[in-house]
Structure 1
Amino acid sequence: MPQVTPVVYVVDDDVSIRESLELMIATAGWQPHAFASAQEFLSYSRISIPSCLILDVNLPDLNGLELQKRIAADDAGIPIIFLTGYGDVPMTVKAMKAGAIEFLMKPFSDDVLLGVIQQAIQGSQAALDQAAELRALRERYASLSPREREVMALVVSGLLNKQVGGELGISEITVKAHRGQVMRKMQAGSLADLVNMSARLRSPPAPMD
């Protein structure tokens, strides 16, 4: 797979700040995409690659905190770094509780911001990797027959093959055959692997930091 250059989105209505951030981001080796308003950002079609969002709190149409709420539901929680010249403690607390990774006051140190961007990109990459792994796991589970899913559920609950057979009204030999198919299709190297996979399939998506 070719190396993908992470994207750093910038939403700030101050053109001088947008331009300086674009230059800094490009110099650091990332792709900058800058927008003057929240609506411009929302209208842009983003692709699923490592990314983060540098977001000004005070915007002319939809403010930064409202934009944070808007994208949280449908963007897998893209990491957000807030910038503001008028921040206060309640605003900072609200942004951080909603999942922002940092809240920086203007003027800020380039080195500090670059460090936070690096952290955000790493978090985004990890989240995308986890999402890809879970999609692959769900695809493998979808390949199981209804009977294989029944056997898997009973096996991961701790039942022995004989007990699984008793629950399903099938022979122990048949259970072993189904169990072997489950292990193969799920690409599980051990019962512990299968138990872990079952737990991941049942768990809700984890929120992004």
Structure 2
Amino acid sequence: MPKPLVCLDPGHGGADPGAAGNSLAEKDLALDLALRIREELLSGYHVDVLMTRETDTFVSLADRARMANDAGADYFHSVHLNAFEPSARGYEDFVHTSVRDDGRAARIRAAVHEAVMELLTPYGVPDRGYKRADFFVLRETAMPAVLTENLFVTNEADAGLLRQELFRQALARAHVRGIARGLGLQPVARPPVLYKVQVGAFTQRENAERLAAELRDKGYSVYIVRTSPD
């Protein structure tokens, strides 16, 4: 069974910095978040990922949509950051104006929004709500598409969070949880964790053999490991 294909779209890039404020550039943060999202998706779920850009390069809006359409992506996830007057802060996301409330894009967006706000609410980050817009990449992509606005680089509190690598990693994981819920992605099966117990350490092998025999008689699985000092 083929894996679902998610197209990740880090906004702006190259000569187009996007929003800027508090010594932060949208193009850099969007790429950082998208790469983290890709890593979490690929390591945790049966899914393939297409990036509209992987470096600090300019990609037109038409090319972004074309890449997703030509690849037959199942979902398009655009990553942006916001800017406005310094008091504005928070998270919001968009689907196209033509999307029905019960449409697949709306359902995926709801899952992403809920997962992201589960992370952000304890930080005091405002929920700016579910929104719609006639953005090019939402209009011209042939699959469910969501555009996310991940805090305001122009707000000091939001910028302080975005500067923290651990926060950005947590934010990426929140996106992935939402995407996985919305698309119904299957998690990668992980081998069970095993805990081993050491009993005894000897300088003479015969002493180790004697204890090993006693433990085998009691039903334990035993093996002897020879180690040398560094």
Q: TM-score range by the shorter chain?
A: 0.3 to 0.5
Higher strand share: 2
Larger relative contact order, structure 1 or 2 (CA cutoff 8 Å, min sep 6) = 2
TM-score w.r.t. length of structure 2:
0.30
Higher helix share: 1
TM-score w.r.t. length of structure 1:
0.33
